[in-house]
Structure formats: structure tokens, C-alpha cells
């Protein structure tokens, strides 16, 4: 199964799960304003099997895992249904990577500068960037979306 693509420039109205062989939409999860799995948040989407996936949201001081199961349950539109489980919050007191105050450097947990961000690649102020797990998504002054992916730290 293949999840939909999530980017900050698209208005996300739902998540479609497609069959790997034929591409037919097997199940659909609507996402609406006001839903905690809603618009304006960046999620890490992780499939654990063909029938179970998690949305991971990293917030200051915590990580939220929202489990979902895909079950066979014919509906008028789709042959499967997505069932949402209880969200689990895990403490994450120190994020593995952050940006410095000028948003010019990616800093690791040991306060080392590990990646320079060239001017213009990250718009300053609200909405210029967000973290999705270990992926930094940036909106540049030119309107382009850029992504930097980092490894899980060994600390």
C-alpha cells in the first residue's frame, strides 16, 4: 500500500491508501479543520505492515503517535476502512536537532553546528519551516519547498 504525499503547500483534505499493484484507492481517511490530525501540522507517516500505520507528530517536549488500522470493511465507496486508535504521547525533552536563533544552522543535541542553510532557502518568521521527525521542511523566499533529512543521532 502507498500513502498519499504530504507537503506544506497542498491543502490536505484526506489520506488515501492505494493498492500497490493496481493503484486503486482502498481506503480514505478524511482530515478536516479542527481535527488533531489536521491541516497545518507536519507528520511522519510510518507503515508498520500492510494494515497498520502511525502518524508521528513531534512537538516541543513530546512526540505523539497516532495508530491507524486498515481493515476489510466494504463501504459504498471503498473496500477497506481506516480505524484510528488512541493517541499516545511520549516525552521527548531534547529534540535531536534544532535551528539556531538566526535559522542559519542546524544544531545537534550537543550544540554542534552540523548543517548550514544558505540565505533565502528558509523564509524568516512564522511558516518558514517545520520539523517532521528528522526531516526539516523549509519554505524559501522564492516560494520553493526544500527538505533536509538527518540521521537518527547516536547519543
Q: What is the pLDDT of residues 78-88, one digit of tens each?
A: 898 888 899 88
> For the chain, what are the domain ranges?
14-92, 97-149
Residue with the larger pLDDT of the pair 110 and 11: 110
The pLDDT, as a whole number, for residue 38 is: 52
Tell which residue, 50, 46, 45, 44, has the closest CA to residue 70. Answer: 50
**What mean pLDDT is predicted for residues 5-18?**
57
- pLDDT tens profile 124-140: 766 688 887 788 889 88
Whether the model pTM is above 0.85: no
Identify the burial level of 108 via C-beta atoms within 10 angstroms of its C-beta, where 0-12 means exposed, 13-18 middle and 19 or more buried: middle
In this structure, the strands spanning 52-59 and 61-72 are: antiparallel
Identify the burial level of 7 via C-beta atoms within 10 angstroms of its C-beta, where 0-12 means exposed, 13-18 middle and 19 or more buried: exposed
- pLDDT tens profile 33-46: 545 555 456 677 88
What span, in angstroms and rounded, lies between the C-alpha atoms of 145 and 148? 10
Residue 3, pLDDT > 50, answer no
Amino acid at each position: 500500500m502507498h500513502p498519499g504525499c504530504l507537503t506544506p503547500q497542498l491543502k490536505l483534505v484526506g489520506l488515501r491508501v492505494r493498492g500497490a499493484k493496481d493503484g486503486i484507492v482502498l481506503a480514505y481517511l478524511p482530515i478536516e479543520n479542527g481535527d488533531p490530525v489536521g491541516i497545518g501540522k507536519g507528520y511522519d507517516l510510518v507503515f508498520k505492515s500492510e494494515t497498520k500505520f502511525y502518524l508521528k507528530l513531534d512537538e516541543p517536549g513530546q512526540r505523539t503517535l497516532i495508530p491507524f488500522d486498515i481493515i476489510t470493511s466494504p463501504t459504498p465507496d471503498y473496500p477497506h476502512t481506516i480505524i484510528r486508535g488512541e493517541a499516545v504521547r511520549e516525552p521527548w525533552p531534547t529534540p535531536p536537532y534544532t535551528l539556531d536563533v538566526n535559522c542559519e544552522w542546524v544544531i545537534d543535541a550537543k550544540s554542534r553546528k552540523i548543517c548550514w542553510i544558505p540565505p533565502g532557502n528558509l523564509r524568516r518568521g512564522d511558516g518558514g519551516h517545520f520539523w517532521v521527525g528528522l526531516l526539516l521542511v523549509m519554505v524559501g523566499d522564492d516560494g520553493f519547498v526544500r527538505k533536509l533529512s538527518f540521521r537518527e543521532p547516536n547519543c
